[in-house]
Structures are given as structure tokens and as C-alpha cells.
Structure 1
Amino acid sequence: GLNFIDLMVRQGNIDNPPKTPLVPGFECSGIVEALGDSVKGFEIGDRVMAFVNYNAWAEVVCTPVEFVYKIPDDMSFSEAAAFPMNFVTAYMMLFEVANLREGMSVLVHSAGGGVGQAVAQLCSTIPNVTVFGTASSFKHEAIKDSVTHLFDRNADYVQEVKRISTDGVDIVLDCLCGENTGKGLSLLKPLGTYILYGSSNMVTGETKSFFSFAKSWWQVEKVNPIKLYEENKVIAGFSLLNLLFKQNRGGLVKGVMDKLLNLYNNKKIKPVVDSLWALEEV
């Protein structure tokens, strides 16, 4: 799978970037060719998808069994390679962190991206959930039917949201950071949750720009915990890779994957593959 985090790794826009040379990639799908002596539940020849701590863009991958999941019979390898990162991230933010329930409203940035589309699909599994989304205009046609209210990413979405929902939204999912942090917090209803899960505003072009990074960082809202207390708001962060590879929560993620695969098998969700690339072209 190719995700935005892979682009950030390539540009070096992450904390503690790995030493080079390295093979990028954090998720993949394929066929089991070999098993460790103590591995149970899998057989050689099984179709699987997996999380990998780098090295997913390789012909052969080795990863702990707790990060491996069987692919449903009617799911293609390309769909499976696009499933784990996007849907686990979306599910855990909505249900594990923000406790999405019937009648709530959600604002998701980059609604046309992998996580954004997974968020919209998962919201559709809960009755009467309103989804506000921001996205580049060229992506609107593809996602217009899955998002309740769609705005151009350069529009004044704060005013647009408040025009439709005067008291704001229950959940904000922000992968942009920068000035959007303050905007997101301002849109939260009482007991609402703002979740930061990326910082794409820190990335510019093909290389890092120190001045752009500094500008975006300076625009990040300085959060006063007393203000959160007074306004009954929650601010949180979410990093799936840290949860898996630094905080040893593979068991928790496996439980989420089981729920997601159940939703897939019941035709409630379906991974979206934007494009296919030969390994030599990546």
C-alpha cells in the first residue's frame, strides 16, 4: 500500500527518520511462503495482508504473526494492500477515541484521501451521522455521494460548517495541523473531540521547506488545558504506527481488524484503490 506517510518518510518529514538505505512501506498483501516454528493459525499458501515496520515495498516480507490477517475470499490483493492502514486508523479514531454514536457530526480533512474515504464509509454504518469534508476540488466528483457536506480545502470551511450546524460538530479529524488546529477546536461542540493524526501542512513540494515548516508550526494553536476544562472539549492524537511498533498494541489492533473484516464481509465497507503501480515504477 502507498500512503501519505510514505511520502513523508521519503522527504524526511518524520521524527527519527530511519537510516538509509531502506525499503519503504508499512502495509502489504501476498501469499504466505514460510512460517516460524511457533506460528499457529496460518498455512503456507494463505492469502494475507499485513502491517510491516518498513520494507513492505519488497518482493518478500517478514513480519510478526500478530500483524498478519487473512484476506477474505472475495477481496483482491490490491484491495487488501489498501485496507489495513486506512480503515484501522479511521475506525480507531471514530470508535475507540471519539466514541462515535448515532446522531453525531464529523468533520474530516482530506476527505478524498484513503483515511478520509474510510471515515465516510464507517460513518455510514451508524444511523444519522452527518459528515462534513474538505478536499481538493478535483476530488469532489469521486466522493460527493459519501460526504454529507463537501467543501473545497481552500474555502472558509469554519463559516460553512457553522452556517449548516450553528453549534459546530462532535468530532474533528485533522491530518493537516498548522492553523487548522485552532479552527478545529473552535468548531467543537461541548464534549466534542478533536483528533490530530497527521501534519501534511508541514510538507511542501518535493523537499522540506524550513520556512514553510516554521510558519505552519507557529500557526499551531497553543492549547490551554484550563480552556479545555471550561469549554468541555477533548483534544487527542492518534498514530497507528506508534501504536503498533512502539507501544505494543498489536492485540488491540487485531480486535479492530476482526470488526472491520466483519463489516467488509457484510458489504458495509469496501477499500478504494486509487491506482495501481508496478514495483519498478514506485
Structure 2
Amino acid sequence: MRAITISSPGDPEVLQVTDEPTPELAADEVLVRVHAAGVNRADLLQRRGFYDPPPGATLIPGLEVSGTIEKLGADVTGWSVGDRVAALLSGGGYAESVPVPAGQLLPVPDDFDLTEAAALPEVLSTVWSNIVGRGQVKAGEWLLVHGGGSGIGTAAIQIARHLGVKIVVTVGSDRKAEFCRSLGADAVINYREEDFVERVREICTHDDGSTGADVILDIIGAKYLERNIKALNTDGRLVIIGMQGGTKTEINLGWLMQPRKSVSATTLRARPKEQKIAIVAEVAEQLWPAVISGDIRPIIHESMPLAEAVRAHQTLEDGANIGKVLLIVDEEGAQP
């Protein structure tokens, strides 16, 4: 099968199209014929040698796909060959076929665009498991999300709106600011022009007179840690899911203790299979009906052929995208 592999850690040019053996199938897995694969910043980190796959996972990048089931494992029930699906992966999405635990599948109706479905599993699972699972955000609270124009950010805006959560996002351009407002963001901060801490405390006000975000979903890491903590309300929760701004810094624990603020950090890819299956089940129950109805929609910047994986990575690194970048693996696979 055709796949994108990484010849050695480095720039996008190390991505290459190779011929790889079709993966073997475990009893609890299905083999998905990939139509489209989402491109995520985790893939960029893996390419650069900074984010190894979890033990036992393939070295082929790609954490989410859409496609059709072409083979069932011996213990799989409830699915049939030919079913259209979207899937959360530990890797292997940049390929013509990928094995997926059956519990990590989401059904794609015949009248839903199969290409667009590839833009959803990773972002929905990431946002849901972190703002609800770890952040414990509640209706009426304020959520701050950095990178509002990203795949994570555009999904977070829509999920927040769906949950009745007020959301403010940071962006780097007026174009992204306008788009985030059109999606339903309550407030948008251009971090190139304004100090987001000061603006968050002006925007996120509470009936008891306190100010600040109740939950922050952060993709930056060390560079923003001190300012994120200062932007939190009393009892606020900071959830770090990215390291674009580095991994090491120093904080004053007093900033956390007296106002009872908390900091947690996590990745989705390294979680045990059982946890991923549980997260996908929650997404299927809590968010997928809103996706099918159109209340939550995939935001796609550009789709390009699998062979253009280098350009796909360059597009994400340039940072001009709004929403997801997709690789099309099998054009015919989009037909119902």
C-alpha cells in the first residue's frame, strides 16, 4: 500500500511516498480503507523527532481518518464491511489502509461528506476530553482557547457554543478574528496587538465581582504558563495540550495555592486504548448528533493529494490556515 513515511527527523522534505505492507489486523480491530486523513501539529512534531508514537504503534504519521471498512477482526460486532466511518488513531493515517480498534470508530451517514469527516475525530476528542474531562467546564463559565483559528480552536468555539459555555479565543490576524466571531466566539483577542491577560480579565467577568477565565485550553506551553495562570479566575483550571512555546519554565506556586488554581497537562495519543475508546464513546453520544445535524461542522482550510504531504506540513507550519488541512488518499472512496 502507498503510505507517507519519515526518512529521518527534519523539515517537511523528509516526508516521502513509500510502498508499505498492508497492516495486520487484531481481533478487536477493523481495517479501514482510507479516503482522507487529517494533518495535525502532532504529526509535525513527530516528523521533527520530538513526538514518538506510543509503544507498539506504527511509525506512519496520521491521527485521524475517514474511509470505509474493508475487513473485520474476528471479535468485531456491530460494524460491517463497506460501512463509512471516521476514526481516531494512534498513527498510520497517512496510508491507503489502517487498522483501528472498533471502539474508536464513528459512523458517517451516506449524506455526510466523507472528506469533511476526516477533520473531526482528533479535534473533537481532544477538545471534549480536555475542556470537559479535565477542565470540568460548565455552562455559563468562561473558556479561553489559544489559537482560535486552528483545527482545535475552531472546534472548541463550536463545542463551547453547543455546551452553553462562553468562549474567548486568541488569534494572530484580523482575518482569523473575523472568522472566529462568525463561528460564535463571544470575544476574540489579537495577541499581536493586545496583552491577552489584561483583556481576558476585562472580558471574563463574574456575578461575584471576580474576573478571569474559568478554564484555559492551551497549545503553547512554557511561554504562556505564567500569563495563563494570571488570566485564570479563582478556582480556575489550566489544561495544557501543546508545547509550541517550549517545555521548561518556572512559576511561583503561590499564584496557584491561595486562589485555588490548578494546572494539568496531557496528550491524547499516548492514552491507553481503553481511555480512547471511552472518549470516542462520549464524543459519539454528546457531540456526534450535533455534527450530523450541522450544528457543529468541520472547518477545512484545504484538501490536497497524499503525495503532497510536504506541502500540507508546510501549510500548517506557515500558520495561515483557518481550520484543518487534509490529505486525500482515495478519491473514489468518497462515493456512498
TM (norm. structure 2) is: 0.72
1:244 Cα deviation (Å)? 4.3
User: 1:241 — aligned with what?
Assistant: 269
Give how far 1:279 is off: 0.6
Q: Is 2:136 the counterpart of 1:99?
A: yes
Measured in 1, the distance between the counterparts of 2:291 and 2:166 equals 22
The amino acid that maps onto 1:35 is L
- Is 2:176 the counterpart of 1:148? no
SS in 1 for 2:128: helix
1:257 corresponds to which letter in structure 2? Answer: V
Alignment check: 8 A CA contact 1:179 1:221 kept: no
The aligned amino acid for 1:260 is L
Q: Is the 8 A contact 2:230 2:255 kept in 1?
A: no
Moved more, 234-243 or 83-92: 234-243
Q: 1:177 to 1:18 in 2, by over 3 A?
A: same
2:162 maps to which of 125, 136, 154 = 125
Unaligned runs of 5+ in 2: 1-37, 206-210, 310-336
Aligned length in residues? 262
- Distance of aligned partners of 1:223 and 1:4 in 2 relative to their CA distance in 1, 3 Å threshold: farther
Residue 275 (structure 1) aligns with: 302
Does 2:171 align with 1:135?
yes
Separation of aligned partners in 1, 2:305 and 2:64: 16
Distance in 2, Cα, partners of 1:71 & 1:201: 36
Aligned to 1:52: 89
Distance 2:93 2:226 in 1: 36
Q: How do residues 184-223 of structure 1 correspond to structure 2 at under 5 angstroms? A: 184-202=228-246, 217-218=247-248, 220-222=249-251
Q: What is the CA deviation profile of residues 150-169 of structure 1, one whole-angstrom value per residue up to 9, with x for unaligned ones? A: 11232311112223336111
1:253 and 2:279 matched: yes
Q: Please, which of 161, 165, 177 is the counterpart of residue 200 of structure 2?
A: 161
Whether the 8 Å CA contact 2:143–2:214 is kept in 1: the answer is yes
Runs of at least 4 residues of structure 1 off by over 3 A?
15-19
In 2, the alpha carbon distance for the partners of 1:231 and 1:110 equals 26
The one-letter code matched in structure 2 to 1:222 is I
Tell me if structure 2 keeps the 8 A contact 1:78–1:273: no
Matches of 1:66 and 1:157, distance apart in 2: 39
- How far off its partner does 1:17 sit? 8.5
Quote how far apart the aligned CAs of 1:78 are.
1.6
- Whose helix proportion is higher, 1 or 2? 1
Higher share in strand:
2
User: Per-residue CA shift, 1:176-223, capped at 9, x if unaligned?
Assistant: 012211111111111111100111123xxxxxxxxxxxxxx45x3436
Residue ranges of structure 1 left out of the alignment (5+ in a row): 203-216
Which amino acid is 1:271 matched to? P
State the 1:46 CA deviation. Answer: 0.6
With the length of structure 1 as denominator, give the TM-score of the two structures: 0.85
Please give the secondary structure, in 2, of the residue aligned with 1:243.
Answer: coil
Q: What SS class does the counterpart of residue 151 from structure 1 fall into?
A: strand
Question: 2:214 pairs with 170, 188, 191, which one?
Answer: 170
Q: Which amino acid aligns with 1:230?
A: Q
RMSD: 2.2
Q: Secondary structure at the match of 1:269?
A: coil
CA contact (8 A) 1:197 1:237 kept: yes
In the alignment, the residues of structure 1 paired with residue 135 and residue 240 of structure 2 have an alpha-carbon distance, to the nearest angstrom, of 12
> Is the CA contact (8 Å cut-off) linking 2:53 and 2:90 kept in structure 1?
no
What SS class does the counterpart of residue 142 from structure 1 fall into?
Answer: helix
Alpha-carbon deviations, 1:115-135, whole Å to 9, x = none?
A: 1111100111133x3211111
Aligned counterparts of 2:106 and 2:204: Cα–Cα separation in 1? 40
Correspondences of 1:5-154 after superposition (within 5 Å): 5-14=42-51, 22-127=59-164, 129-137=165-173, 138-145=175-182, 146-154=184-192
Aligned sequence identity (%): 28
* 1:184 aligned partner, one-letter code: N
Q: Structure 2: which amino acid aligns with 1:240?
A: L
Higher relative contact order (CA 8 A, sep 6+): 2
Could you tell me how far 1:41 is from its partner in structure 2? Answer: 0.8
Contact 2:54 2:269 in 1 (8 A): no
